[in-house]
Structure 1
Amino acid sequence: MKSVLVVCIGNICRSPMGEALIAAALPQLEVASAGVGALVGQPADPLARQLMAERGLDIESHRARQLTNLMCQQADLILVMDEEQRLLINQRHPLTRGKLFRLGEVARVDIPDPYRLGRPAFEQALQLIDAGASAWVERIRKLS
């Protein structure tokens, strides 16, 4: 496995945090993020940047990107935040079958969008993102 793509809706809250956590744990992989309805060019949400900084991870340079067919083709693993996104991407990008999963797949949980909901919602989302990222990192390490 060489590349992981983390996807949410706007690519400013959940997926940049997931990208940062996985990239820090697996520096040998190419880890990126995108959104199915990205706020293209926007930086990560201030709360996402703050929570990552508190963990020693810098996402200040992040800019939101729209998910493309090419990104889906190039990624070895695509991790989304919820079942709705998984179904949408499967429909729009049929080549993702077999490599498209929820970040919270192991725990069978969707990760709610904290956008505009304040720090407690971001902390809850980050807790789920961290648990999901850790589970996937462990799986990827076993496969490598």
Structure 2
Amino acid sequence: MTKSRASRVLMVCTGNICRSPSAEGVLRHLAIAEGLADRIEIDSAGTTDWHAGEPPSKRAQVAAKARGYDISGLRARPLRREDYFDFDWMLAMDEGHIAHLVRNRPEDATAEIVLFLDPAPQVGRGDVPDPYYGGEDDYEYSLDLIEAGCRGWLERLKGGK
């Protein structure tokens, strides 16, 4: 029996220091807990290079750590042209990111561009709001949505794509 190729997932937000690294860390944590770490490859990127090389924001790290997710080792990076070919899924945290991804999508790109919360209709919204300019409650709410989205993606990815 041949081993199937891992599903490759890229989380995308603006600066890659709050929402997308949090989603990367949560989905990785869930995949490991389910014994699926070898079947799902996860990364994150920003639509801008404003924070390239920086760790996730301190408040994102604190909120994640309180729920058992360690995202301190992640580093922000900007979206690259190759990402459209290297990943199966590009998961946008909001409609603005969808627009950016579609606008910059190479004609022959292979990645599917989807809103991150697509497999979590129970949350009643499509966008994960940016907590960066908010307070602690905003980070907690974003993490609530991210956990719901990651659980939905984990279920979707269990079957392959």
Question: What is the rounded CA distance, in whole Å, between the counterparts of 1:127 and 1:88 in structure 2?
Answer: 25
- 2:86 is aligned with 1:81: no
Provide, for residues 7-42 of structure 1, a one-character-per-residue CA deviation record: whole Å limited to 9, x for no partner: 000000000010011111222221100000131111
The letter of the residue matching 2:126 is V
Identical columns (%)? 34
The letter of the residue matching 1:134 is R
The letter of the residue matching 2:62 is Q
The size of the alignment, in residue pairs, is 144
* Aligned-partner SS, 1:127: helix
Provide the residue aligned with 2:8 in structure 1.
3
Change (3 A) 1:118 1:77: same
How far 1:97 moved relative to its partner?
Answer: 6.5
Provide the residue aligned with 2:132 in structure 1.
115
- 2:139 is aligned with 1:128: no
Residues 7-86 of structure 1 aligned to structure 2 (within 5 Å): 7-26=12-31, 27-28=37-38, 29-38=40-49, 39-86=51-98
Is the Cα contact below 8 Å between 2:7 and 2:160 reproduced in 1? no
Question: What is the rounded CA distance, in whole Å, between the counterparts of 1:105 and 1:130 in structure 2?
Answer: 13
How far 1:142 moved relative to its partner?
Answer: 2.6
> C-alpha root-mean-square deviation of aligned residues, in Å?
1.6
* Aligned-partner SS, 2:159: helix
- Return the index of the structure with the highest Cα Rg: 2
Is the Cα contact below 8 Å between 1:89 and 1:96 reproduced in 2? no
Runs of 4+ off more than 3 Å: 94-98
The letter of the residue matching 1:124 is Y
Provide, for residues 47-106 of structure 1, a one-character-per-residue CA deviation record: whole Å limited to 9, x for no partner: 111111112221111111000011221011111101121121111023457611011113
The letter of the residue matching 1:59 is I
* Aligned-partner SS, 1:69: coil
The letter of the residue matching 2:118 is E
* Aligned-partner SS, 1:89: helix
Is the Cα contact below 8 Å between 2:85 and 2:111 reproduced in 1? no
Is the Cα contact below 8 Å between 1:90 and 1:96 reproduced in 2? no
**Structure 2 regions of 5+ residues with no counterpart?**
1-5, 32-36
- With structure 1 as the length reference, what TM-score do the two structures score? 0.92
Write 1 or 2 for the structure with the bigger share of helix. 1
